[in-house]
A and B are shown apart, each in its own frame.
Chain A
Amino acid sequence: MRKPIFILFLLFSCTTLFAQDRITISGTVVDDTGVTLPGVSVIEKGTTNGTVTDIDGNYSLTVRQGSKVVFSYIGFLSQEMTASQSITYSVQLKQDVVGLEEVVVVGYGELKVKDLTSSITTVKSDELVKTPTGQAMQALQGKVAGVQIVNSGAPGSEPTVRIRGIGSFPTSSNSAPLYVVDGMYFDNIDFLNPSDIETLSVLKDASASAIYGVRAANGVVLITTKKGAKNTKTSITYDGYYGIQVPQNVMQMSNAEQFVDYIYQTGSAVDISFIENAMQRYGRSRVNPNVPNVNTDWYAEIMKSHAAQQNHSLSVLGGNDKTSYSLGISYFDQEGLLEAENSYKRMNIRTSIDHQANDWLKTGVNFNVSNGTRYIADDGAWFSAYHAVPILPVYDDKHYEYLLSQGHTTASNYANAQVLDYRGAQNPFLQLAYTDNRQDIRKVLAGIYAEIELVPNLVRFKTTYNTSMMFLKARNVGLPYFISETQNSNRIHSTISSSRTTDVNQFWDNTLTYGDSFGDHNLTVMAGSSYRDEWYDYLVASAEDIPLNENAWYIGQTLSETSKDANDGAERLHGLSYFGRVSYNYKNKYIAYATVRREGTQKYQETWGTFPAFGLGWVVTEEDFIQEGSVLNYLKLRAGWGKLGNDKIARQDGANTTNPVYLAIDETQVDGTITTSTFGYLGWETVTGTNFGLNAELFSNRLSIEADYYIRDTEDAAIPVSLKLQSGSVLRNVGTIRNQGLELAVTWRNEISNNLSYTIGGNISTLKNEVRDLYGQAYLDGGQAEFRQRSQVGEPLLSFFGYEVAGVYQNQSEIDADPIATANGLVPGDLKFRDQNNDDILDDDDKLFIGSYIPTFNYGGFLALNYKNLEFSMNIMGQSGNKILNRKRGEIIWTNDTNIDADLAKGLWNGEGTSNKYPSAAGLRKGWNQNFSDYFLEDGAYFRIQNIQIAYNIKGDELLGRGMPDARIYVTAEKPLTVFKYNGFSPEVPNGIDRQFYPVPAIYTIGVNLKF
């Protein structure tokens, strides 16, 4: 683009101005209840000539006689009128229940919902804040078709978000979408307070997200924070809630009696002796003298019965005729469920200002500062609690006193299973009580933009510079304890590891936008460039033997100079791209849209890639053959196609690296180097998305339907290819993965009377994930060797691969009749694996795909009722079609002197006819039954009541007199009920492998919203 062209443009455009007679119109804009609307935009159609209504809803504008004037306001249907003479035009805007007039932010610009050709779902502030959470994305669970959210209950941890399946190999790439917060790019938005968000839009298909290039392959979530509007009265809003989190579906473990029973069934003299040791040490139960007088429910011990959570936010919004502003402060505080230092607190301060400097320059600035502190409890405690034997008490005072008497100053009063001769200490409190992991997370994001009107109403240039900085200070301290004189289970010296991580990202975007109308043709052309610089580095140091008082938890305080160690690391990646977009519509009836992006990245060995996208839409209801007053109020058919690159894959070295190691030669530390034998070399992994959809409004806009069918193909997917002979893997572009599915969202809204209205709706989405090509390889193995996950053409990615359990051998004659059983020395109570090829030998050929962790069906639903000032809403959701690997049960392969869950203990085979599903107690410990089979897999389906809220609105003015705030008082039950069959705390397992994770609690809150 060269300057002379612009100047030519200018010359032409200038001559057309001020050519006709001008009149002045004025009036008041009100809503359908007659309340005046400030901040309504009033624009002479096809020009930039316009104004906004003042605080009382009044406007005045000079226009060409006979021109059309458009009144538009967020949340209302636009209205057009012809200015034929200078009179007062008062306008009543109708509420836009359907949201077609709403403007959504699309990449580097905005589009009206009715002009969209792609699948975008927008969730607004009032819906978001119904979910009491510190993580905005949690609020989307079950609400957006095609978006899978998997929560974690750990305070401050973000949920796993997947948009339209899994296109990239999970372990080699981050499946998280791109988050664009007010034009700034993020990989996660854990720093945002949901109450600061105005709207959150999910760009699901590639034709919409392609403009964002390589960062958008997993979809895009666009977030706008709360903004002021011009000419609006200052509003001050307080919103706050207090709630308690309550553990849900707490897992039942074997109690002491069941455990003892199980151990006797195993027949293991060794384990039986441990029980005898426990009886000797802790006495015998009075109820059953063969059971030790200890019955510890470890989950109950490590969890609090409830934990608090609260959020408070205060915001100020407003604007005059040139400047609009928004500022706010919020505070979120969540206690963890574990009996340990375990919490998340975060304070956010934000401000944004937009200012019209003169007739060609608009500029604005945006700041968001987040200061969080997180105490992370050792997740390992969940794992220990599952496995700790119930015949071990939490405390062992006798042992404690003994240790003290021996002069061990750091003696611990927690019980140690090694005292009973168990291999490990087992007690989860050793993890909880003696660690202190603190993170101070400070994030700053700042953006500034200038928008220059190059040619009034035609050509606009916008330059935006955004920067985000993250400063993470992490301090992990291990406190000393002494628990065994005979085993190495003590922590003799305190330990500290302290790190400082800095992320500084800079983005500089420039766009040039041309927009014009020629009669019925509306055209917008945009071209731009984007530069990015993402720089991460850290410094970590560790030491042992630091003083125990917290103010001395510094590396320099160590009493052991030799224990000091330090390390650092960094990564800096640059990217550069050019992009353009054309959007066109004819009579608002035919819509076309195309984008192209040329992307350069430092990340891959193949530096440049070009990614196009286009979309088409047809608003059928604008056609003449659709009659006014028909049942069908609106129908748009749309189709989109887009291709984009994915850069969320780990950077590859692209060459061998040589790394230092040390070893001991003759008691002396000497250095050596290790050189890699393989290295990853990656080109672009591309995602091609095709989307067909429709939006329809029927029965006087009472029924809304949105349906989409999509195919999302990932080509040259970066997949870790196992190295031959050795351990490890290397990433190569060797796969094609397809996700396809149908998404349907239906909403029915009705106003029965002025006092009573309701909305009911639901969404379903199907997902078929399939490996389409592996570039000549029969399959690729992944997961852990003992719990094999295999990717093979025609199967979902990383499907579980093993034997199918046909039942349990019930008696000796069944064993004798089966050559497999006799060849492997099986006994009744062992699992019978199906001999798929009937060759009487059980081997690899009998393994098959036994399930996938990817749910094939997701659904959600909601009901909202408004009666006078009372609101009731409820959301439900669920999923099915996936399997969960019960890896907790699988742990018995490595350690078998531990507890088992109650379901397993009750279901064990114990004589003919007792079980055809679980092996005998002795069988649990045999390698044969530990072969990976569907014994370890369980149904991952669940149904949940996601959210119930009851709110009461009080109009301050009416009830309490002028000047009093409007108030809204609400109570919420979040996730009060989850129904599932899986033997675990929660079926929310991100990668389908349940080894240890923080369960998701129910939350009950009471809150108030005050608006001054």
Chain B
Amino acid sequence: MKIKHLIKYFAPVFLSGLLLISVIGCTDKLDEPFEDEAFTSDVDYSIGEDIKLPLLGAYYGLYTRGWEGPITLGIRGDDVNAAGDQAPMQEQDNFTYLPSHWNLNAVWQNHYNDIINVFTEMDEIEKYREAANNDALVDQYIAECKTIRAYLYLNLAKAFGKIIVIDQLDNIQNTPASNMEQVMQYIVDEMNEVIPLLPDMHPNKRSDVRGGITRYTAYALQALAYQEMKDYQGAANAAAAIISSGEYELSDDYYHLFKKAGKLDDEIILEFQYSDFGSATGDRFGHLFSPFGLAWDPAVTGAGGGWGFYEPTKKFIKFMLDRGETVRLETSVHWTPAGMAEIENEWGTLPDWIDNTNREGDVFIDNARKKWGAGKWIQPSTELTEGRNGPGSGKNMIVIRYAEILLVYAEALTRGANSNISMTADQAVNLVRARAGMDPLSGVSTQNVLNEKLAELGTEWDIRFHDMVRTENVSELTHEGKIFTMDKAYFVLPAPQVSELPQLEEVVNPTN
């Protein structure tokens, strides 16, 4: 009886036991790595040539700017209006800053995203040091990263006046804020450190990253930082290093410098590179230029006009007309019929060559949003790759060019800086003027240089605004009904940032 039962129940008991126990065998599945993930710890750092990947990652961060970035930085100058329908931008153009303005937070975060990206990319580059077997190259790549970082800090500090210079990524919470002076000194010091490590050539001569950072990009940033500190001797020295290198030359075609032909020109010290790779479809690496565009009848049907958010001021246009500017006015300002009528009415008969059609045959038409376009930011429809109709598809963005450095140099000399090279302030200014078809000046004053900067660099970034802030020229910035006071030099800090990082509310100790 017992045996019989044992046999009878053997099958079920055995089966059940087996199943129960076999589950335990699955435990090791819990330790399997995740699918579809490339962990940094799995990167093979023994492939020396891959060191370029993180470097290009840092450039990727630099080149990917939000559409609101260049606009927000640029609109406060007396050369540019915020047109279109963006209330915060129009209010900022009018020197009314609210901590809740969305674009301020976006500019802040986008810059810091890329700054933090530089930190991680530098760590990654360092990990390839052994395999790369080329200390100089590793040092150069890290120096490029630091130059990128310095550029981003320069923008941020000029916009907000008070920022956090990150020391350690994991210590942001405890890092005190730095004021303008401190950030500029930081940039100067950083550039001193990286200059010897960077390639001594024009960016367009680089074979690995053509158009990338070179020693002169770092000198240029240093010159700009010295200039903000009003250390004109420092600015002159840094600018002189660029001038004396012989690597740079003004383009002889001012108009096309800002078009496709100007990509990687000998004049350019830093530019953001974009391309649709000449193909109607597929990958494209580009910037959203739509906010710069204005309504048009394009020469190429279907080419996108744009939103009309960025408009040269009447003040700037009249300034250019008064000077008898030609190619620089043609390049900087696109006219609509209404815009022509309005200036004619207020200024007088326009020169014959002024027209609402550009050289390429795009006709700018009346639109209530704006009357003039900032031509340096607008690509003619004929330069679009067929099938790519987004405004400026594939257009590059020029950030620092040799002409600016010449004028920084000239201004520094007019303010008493000495130069160890032979070029005089007159020579520097006249180089720029000659290219623009303007007669030479002699005995240039600081004011001459500042005027030349406006004519040469008008509507480009925040150059004009900060020249006026630096010289505390409240009356110039007070224009067309917009009233500037020195307490409006910097945007207010974005509310979301202040609430996260209380140190931004504290007064920064100016004595470091």
Contact = CB atoms under 8 A, between A and B. Distances in A.
A487 B57 contact: no
Nearest to A568: B36
Given A454-B13, A675-B124, A576 B275 contact: no
B39 A657 contact: yes
A485 B297 contact: yes
A447 B463 CA distance: 71
A927 B96 contact: yes
B169 A677 contact: yes
Contacts of B32: 572, 574, 602
B53 to A, nearest CB: 4
A560 interface: yes
B26 A576 contact: yes
Interface in B1-24: 1-2, 5-6, 9, 12-17, 19-20, 23-24
A250 interface: no
Contacts of A489: 304
A11 to B, nearest CB: 7
A111 interface: no
B389 interface: yes
Interface string B119-130: 111011000000
Given A607-B30, A655-B39, A662 B283 contact: yes
Interface stretch (B400-408, B449-457, B467-475, B494-502): B494-502
Contacts of A786: 100, 102
Contacts of A172: none
Interface stretch (A86-94, A432-440, A928-936): A928-936
B218 interface: no
Given A576-B29, A607-B30, A675-B57, A658 B124 contact: yes
Nearest to A6: B13
Contacts of A274: 368
Nearest to A274: B368
Contact of A488 (B169, B279, B389, B500): B389
A273 to B, nearest CB: 4
Contact of A600 (B27, B39, B115): B27
A726 interface: yes
B295 A672 contact: no
B285 A664 contact: yes
B106 to A, nearest CB: 8
Interface stretch (A61-69, A369-377, A891-899, A952-960): A891-899
A931 B96 CA distance: 14
Q: Give the most central of A455, A562, A665, A668: most B CB within 10 Å.
A: A665
A452 B10 CA distance: 12
Contacts of B98: 927-928, 931
Contact of A529 (B23, B57, B173, B390): B23
Interface string A552-595: 00000000101111001111101110000000000000000000
Contacts of A482: 302
Contacts of A781: 496, 499-500
B69 interface: no
B332 interface: no
Nearest to A608: B30
A663 B62 CA distance: 11
Interface in B67-98: 84-88, 91, 96, 98
A785 interface: yes
A512 B20 contact: yes
B357 interface: no
A947 B319 CA distance: 73
A210 to B, nearest CB: 20
Contacts of A897: 85
A972 B389 CA distance: 53
Q: Give the most central of B2, B58, B60, B108: most A CB within 10 Å.
A: B60
A193 B32 CA distance: 37
Contacts of A7: 6, 9, 13
A824 B95 CA distance: 11
Interface size on A, as a range, is: 35 or more
A927 B301 contact: no
A669 interface: yes
A485 B304 CA distance: 8
A14 B121 CA distance: 74
B278 A461 contact: no
Interface string A455-497: 1000001010000000000000000001011111110110000
B313 interface: no
Interface stretch (B181-189, B205-213, B220-228): B205-213
Contact of A669 (B13, B20, B285): B285
A607 B29 CA distance: 11
Contact of A510 (B20, B84, B263, B298): B20
Contacts of A843: 99
Interface size on B, as a range, is: 35 or more
A520 interface: no
A927 B211 contact: no
A732 to B, nearest CB: 14
B55 interface: yes
A20 interface: no
Contacts of A724: 172-173, 500-501
B120 A677 contact: yes
Given A602-B32, A657-B37, A927-B101, A560 B496 contact: no
Contacts of A672: 52-60
Contact of A677 (B100, B119, B301): B119
A278 to B, nearest CB: 12
Contacts of A2: 17
Nearest to A931: B100
B56 A11 contact: no
Given A486-B296, A602-B30, A666-B211, A895 B19 contact: no
Contact of A493 (B39, B40, B277, B387): B387
Q: Give the most central of A674, A728, A824: most B CB within 10 Å.
A: A674
A816 interface: no
A662 B285 contact: yes
A485 B212 contact: no
Contact of A659 (B38, B301, B365, B495): B38
Given A484-B302, A926-B87, A537 B30 contact: no
Interface in B150-168: 164, 166
Q: Give the most central of A487, A544, A676: most B CB within 10 Å.
A: A487
B31 interface: yes
A485 B302 contact: yes
Interface string A594-617: 000000111000010000000000
Contact of B112 (A674, A725, A925): A725
A885 to B, nearest CB: 15
A651 interface: yes
Contacts of A569: 36
A157 to B, nearest CB: 27
Contacts of B251: none
Ordered nearest first, which 7 A-B pairs have the shortest CB separation?
Answer: A488-B304, A672-B56, A563-B281, A664-B275, A574-B29, A562-B282, A461-B16
Interface of B: 1-2, 5-6, 9, 12-17, 19-20, 23-24, 26-27, 29-32, 34-41, 43, 52-61, 63, 84-88, 91, 96, 98-102, 105, 108-110, 112-113, 115-117, 119-121, 123-124, 164, 166, 169, 172-173, 209-212, 263-264, 273-275, 277-283, 285, 290, 295-298, 301-305, 307-308, 365, 367-369, 387, 389-391, 494-501
Given A722-B496, A925-B85, 10 more contacts: A7-B6, A461-B12, A492-B302, A659-B38, A669-B283, A674-B57, A676-B40, A677-B116, A725-B115, A725-B172
5 contacts: A6-B9, A461-B16, A657-B39, A661-B60, A663-B63
Interface of A: 1-3, 6-7, 10-11, 14, 269-271, 273-274, 360-361, 406, 408, 421, 423, 452-455, 461, 463, 482, 484-490, 492-493, 508, 510, 512, 529-531, 533, 537, 543-545, 560, 562-565, 568-572, 574-576, 600-602, 607, 651, 653, 655-659, 661-677, 722, 724-728, 781, 785-786, 788, 824-825, 843-844, 893-897, 925-928, 930-932
